Homo-oligomer: A and B are copies of this chain.
Amino acid sequence: MKARVTVFCKEAVFDPQGHTLAVSLRQVGFPGVKGTRVGKVIDIELSSNSVAEAKASVQQMCEKLLANPVIESFSYEIKE
């Protein structure tokens, strides 16, 4: 079973990497870029065969290790 976790800075938190990227994109010929936000994406391969078990496991991983709950928010999807 596979999971894809996506972690972004919370909306209220300034994202310097995203800000810099938006400026760079406008400079290299994309004036239509209004803004960007940069995050992490993590693909996890799990030995579990149950979707419920995988979900519970991934939720715990996010809380324990993958995201910093103070400044980041996460989402995930489970694929079979």
A: residues with CB less than 8 A from B are: 6, 8, 18, 21, 24-25, 28-30, 32-48, 57, 60-61, 64-65
Partner of A36 from B21, B44, B57 at Cβ < 8 Å: B44
**Chain B residues in 8 Å Cβ range of A44:** 25, 33, 35-36
Cβ-defined contact, A41 with B43, below 8 A? no
Min Cβ gap A55→B in Å is 13
For the complex, give the distance between the alpha carbons of A61 and B28 in Å. 9
For the complex, give the distance between the alpha carbons of A44 and B8 in Å. 13
Partner of A33 from B35, B37, B45 at Cβ < 8 Å: B45
Cβ-defined contact, B47 with A43, below 8 A? no
For the complex, give the distance between the alpha carbons of A32 and B25 in Å. 40
